[in-house]
Structure 1
Amino acid sequence: MEMITSLSSLFFALPFIALLSIFFLRRNHPPSNPPALSILRGYPVVGNLPSFVRNHRRMVEWTSELLLASPTGTVSVAPLVLTADPAAVEHVAKSSFHNYPKIPSFVSAFHDFLGTGILNSDGEPWRVQRRTAELEFGTRPLRSSVLEIVNSEIACHLFPLLQFKDRKQELFDFQNVLGRFAFDVICRVVFGEDVRVLGEEKSELFYRAFDGAAAVSIDRSKQHFSALWKLKEWLDGASAKQLRESVRILHESIDRLLQLRKAKSNGFLSRFVDDETLSAAHVRDVLINFVIAGRDTVPTALTWFFWVLSSRPDVVEKIHDEIRSVRSSNANDDDEEGSGDKAFGLDELREMNYLHAAITETLRLHPPVPLTPRVSAVEDELPDGTPVGKGWMVIYNAHAMGRSERVWGPDCREFRPERWLDGAGGGRFRPASPFKYTAFHAGPRMCLGKEVAYVQMKAVAASVIEGFDVEVAEERGRFVLGMTMKMEGGLPVRVRERNPTAKIV
């Protein structure tokens, strides 16, 4: 999740239709797995195509239904294998990692946008970037630096905006606000500059360019024949123009930010930026990938978090109790009552086990990246005996795993933060295997920014919950799948400040 998450699963596991186009253009050689195949009804000549067409607008939900109905948690329809089995995830993501690279057609479709950055690379280019980034991520200095930036953005921009909305009693899209907030944070982390798209919107073109490039790249990935895109480029079609213009804006904006950075102290990405062996284009690709990783998943997760809380006042009250307890235990002589007018520190956030569990439970049920696709380099076999042919696609479905009784027990569909805590009455957070809880991926591509992401999510969640009552004003809950699993139509809310005299410092 993410701050900088490796998302190396091509975390934009795109609307499934991209995979289907490839699937139906290949000869169908059914594997010897009748129990899984029996879930899909086949027809003469067209096979299972009608089922896919009928469900093309709800691929995540539909494939989840198939997997949850499967006795093994795996469905195989050659040359496609879907799974929600933790053993299969461990096999693909770790045990046989080198046999399951990214899908080449997706890498090609995103090349203009992401270039050779960590999200869009495999093999040695990926390993080099991974090793370099590992030297920085997960360290306390980086977490402290990120938290300082997050707290500054909360105090200077997010809270003033929420206070304004409270005074005006305005309805606003919290998903949009959280997205802009996350963009400001990641740009300060990466470039050391406050681009201010929350409130002032002074870098609106830069912000929108990411959306434009992503949208066209997603559509491009759905076209099985690369010649179709070449034709659009040759004809200078609207989508080709949009991608070209969006990428131009991204490159020019990043070049300007890098020039500003040279006059300042080194940032945490200096290992990339100051490496004279790397071309300017490659450095730019690296930075775009880090920004996109920090821009989408954190606000998506927080949107679903606040949506869930809107129907769970009991969870909100438990978070309030925990915040009051942490404030009280960390109060000093100058702040005897542990008032909420000070930003949270790393140690305070670490003590918030219930909040950590509530965020984690949100990610279990609403993973920002629900589908992770891979392609098999050679013939293989999953732990349950499912055959995988050379060139077949294997996709694990995190959305289905979170709703699987086989994985999480009979209360799997309940939002219950306590499942993550030691002891019936609460206690310390107890993590689960990354192969059953895949929000941060697993194996060699385990998310580098997991801890940083939690710092950001907990700081925002704790600050907002302590400072405001958030009321979801319209029924929501459906999602739209793009770079991440965002809430369809946004999250319209009203806020009410709980302590108008307090000021975060």
Structure 2
Amino acid sequence: MLLLPLLFFLPLLLFIRLRLASNNKAPFSINTLPKSYPLIGSFLEIKANIHRIIQWYSDIVQISPAATFTLHRAFGQRQVITASPTVVQHILKDRFPLYQKGNALSRAFLDFLGNGIFNTDGDSWKLQRRVASHEFSTKSLRKFVENVVDAELTDRLLPILATAAAQNQVLDFQDILERFAFDNICKIAFGFDPEYLMPSLEQSKFALAFEQASQISTKRFREPISIVWKIKKKLNIGYEKKLRVAVSEVREFAKNIVGEKKQELQKKASLESADMLSRFLSSGHSDENFLADIVISFILAGKDTTSAALTWFFWLLSKNPRVEKEVLKEIREKSEAPVYDEVKDMVYTHAALSESMRLYPPVPLDTKEAVDDDVLPDGTVVKKGMRVTYHVYAMGRLDNLWGPDWAEFLPERWLDRVATTDSNEGKWGWSFMARDSFSYPVFQAGPRICLGKEMAYLQMKRVVAGILRRFRVVPALGEGVEPEFISFLTAKMKGGFPVRIQERVDAE
């Protein structure tokens, strides 16, 4: 019976395949909006641009009135794509209960993320957020920076970079940063050290499986006709067979962490300095699958987002020596301060990281599903079950939000000159000017705004300070080669980020 729908649509699928071949998968022109045909909607152009879907959606909203566009998908389905701060505020705050994860997204990611915090709504989401929030107090953040991040930086990352510099090795810096972030999130959230950032840089089965599960789950969600992945899953063929194996590996790893934590808690008399997983267990939540969902979700949050942000930050620094010089100047000015105070007060570096994430957001778009009919502030009609996608990547490229120089990497757009305590001597400093979270939803906004925002900034600033104080990170890409921005659940630099590490001399 499952094959009947596929057989019914075979002639249509053959027509589409022939049209795609005749188009030779040509890139979408930013001068025209996608064409829509009866029954198949804009399927032809969606399929032709599937390999650059982030950029294509961005092209569309940039030429759409009010930066909002309704995309017609196959079989009458519609999706709203927006880069309007007013609409973002509407769906993430003003009408928050109306816009949820939805069935399409939750089902696509269910095998991988289960009912973890990033794949659920309602009471389950509230519970996970409430328990996790304890990890982000000032006391926890100081401990994270001074103990966890600093130890990983000093004992593992910097020695690896020193060896690479001495031997003139080429490193995949994206991989290095992912390993660093993975160790950090496991230590702070689960009290577990996976020791993934080691000199051997060996690949682990878990890391490979995690990456594959993320990619295939995203492919599921982006599939123009969802029944395709559902049939493949039922028949256990193609990428669905690979996903089943990958998810099995990931969940086994997560359950092992849960099992070890349960044994550890049985021997503990109190919960002093407890990690997040301990708090969940001690609050009466012992279901192994639910706890594994939590572990997987927080690995995703801690491993892939900050590493993606740092990867693109170091790339942009290499292209903008003026900015690197300013960052380095600030690092040296703060070098005598305690570790936590040093990173907390790095205003220029904070601005440079914000500017980098404007151009290359770790999560370039996010999608909600309407649970009832609605009308957006710009008059766009949303019917129950429709998806509404806010496009963070596109929002960082709008003239009306950032000016005609939006393509330039300018940390100063986040800063204001202020008098310092030494202003009588003609000394001035910087004050950070934050943008509202609806114009800059890199960390989401409204009730679901990212709990780990401050933790992410502190970790990134500590990494930047630790590396740049001693080393220069020099891309080892070919002459004139620009890295390609791609995204699954989080952003990536396609093919990794090859670099050479060079020791700084005192005069630099």
TM-score by length of 1: 0.83
Counterpart of 1:87?
A: 86
**Which structure's residues are more often helix, by fraction?**
2
Q: Is the Cα–Cα contact under 8 Å of residues 175 and 491 in structure 1 kept in the other structure?
A: yes
Counterpart of 2:451?
A: 448
Counterpart of 2:482?
A: 476
Query: Structure 1 pair 436/426, CA: closer, same or farther in 2 (3 Å)?
Result: farther
Q: Which amino acid aligns with 1:455?
A: L
Q: Is the Cα–Cα contact under 8 Å of residues 190 and 278 in structure 2 kept in the other structure?
A: no
Query: Structure 1 pair 390/170, CA: closer, same or farther in 2 (3 Å)?
Result: same
Higher relative contact order (CA closer than 8 Å, sequence separation 6+)? 1
More deviation in 390-399 or 64-73? 64-73
2:33 aligned residue (35, 40, 45): 40
Secondary structure, in 3 states, of the residue corresponding to 1:454? helix
Q: How does 1:346-361 map to 2 (within 5 A)?
A: 346-361=340-355
Counterpart of 1:305?
A: 313
Q: How does 1:264-413 map to 2 (within 5 A)?
A: 266-328=274-336, 330=337, 345-413=339-407
Query: Structure 1 pair 151/377, CA: closer, same or farther in 2 (3 Å)?
Result: same
Give CA deviations for 1:9-29 in whole Å, capped at 9, x if unaligned: xxxxxxxxxxxx9xx9xxxxx
Q: Which amino acid aligns with 2:328?
A: H
Query: Structure 1 pair 41/151, CA: closer, same or farther in 2 (3 Å)?
Result: closer
Q: Which amino acid aligns with 1:312?
A: N
Query: Structure 1 pair 161/234, CA: closer, same or farther in 2 (3 Å)?
Result: same
Unaligned runs of 5+ in 2: 1-12, 17-30, 73-77, 269-273, 419-427
Could you say what the CA RMSD is over the residues aligned between the two structures, in angstroms? 2.5
Measure the CA separation in 2 of the matches of 1:251 and 1:304.
30
Query: Structure 1 pair 69/241, CA: closer, same or farther in 2 (3 Å)?
Result: closer
Secondary structure, in 3 states, of the residue corresponding to 1:427? strand
More deviation in 262-271 or 72-81? 262-271
How far apart are residue 285 of structure 1 and its match? 1.1
Counterpart of 2:499?
A: 493
Give CA deviations for 1:32-56 in whole Å, capped at 9, x if unaligned: xxxxxx9525366465444333323
Measure the CA separation in 2 of the matches of 1:41 and 1:319.
43
Q: Which amino acid aligns with 2:431?
A: R
Q: Which amino acid aligns with 1:351?
A: D
Measure the CA separation in 1 of the matches of 2:429 and 2:54.
33
Counterpart of 1:252?
A: 252
Q: Which amino acid aligns with 1:118?
A: I
Measure the CA separation in 2 of the matches of 1:230 and 1:151.
45
More deviation in 439-448 or 172-181? 172-181
How far apart are residue 251 of structure 1 and its match? 3.0
Measure the CA separation in 2 of the matches of 1:43 and 1:255.
46
Q: Aligned residue pairs: how many? A: 451
Q: Which runs of 4+ in 1 moved over 6 A?
A: none
How far apart are residue 91 of structure 1 and its match? 0.2
Give CA deviations for 1:456-486 in whole Å, capped at 9, x if unaligned: 1111111111110111121333112212121
Counterpart of 2:264?
A: 263
Counterpart of 2:409?
A: 415
Q: Is the Cα–Cα contact under 8 Å of residues 258 and 291 in structure 2 kept in the other structure?
A: no
Give CA deviations for 1:288-312 in whole Å, capped at 9, x if unaligned: 1111111101000000000000111
Unaligned runs of 5+ in 1: 1-20, 25-37, 331-343, 501-505
How far apart are residue 82 of structure 1 and its match? 1.4
Counterpart of 1:427?
A: 430
Q: Is the Cα–Cα contact under 8 Å of residues 197 and 207 in structure 1 kept in the other structure?
A: no
How far apart are residue 218 of structure 1 and its match? 2.4
Q: How does 1:111-122 map to 2 (within 5 A)?
A: 111-122=110-121
Measure the CA separation in 2 of the matches of 1:40 and 1:225.
21
Q: Which amino acid aligns with 2:264?
A: A
Identity of aligned residues (%): 38
Secondary structure, in 3 states, of the residue corresponding to 1:470? strand
Q: Is the Cα–Cα contact under 8 Å of residues 173 and 497 in structure 2 kept in the other structure?
A: yes
1:141 aligned residue (116, 135, 139): 139
Q: Is the Cα–Cα contact under 8 Å of residues 135 and 276 in structure 2 kept in the other structure?
A: no
Pairing 1:65–2:73 present: no
Q: Is the Cα–Cα contact under 8 Å of residues 196 and 203 in structure 1 kept in the other structure?
A: no
Query: Structure 1 pair 233/66, CA: closer, same or farther in 2 (3 Å)?
Result: closer
Q: Which amino acid aligns with 2:184?
A: V
Measure the CA separation in 1 of the matches of 2:99 and 2:186.
32
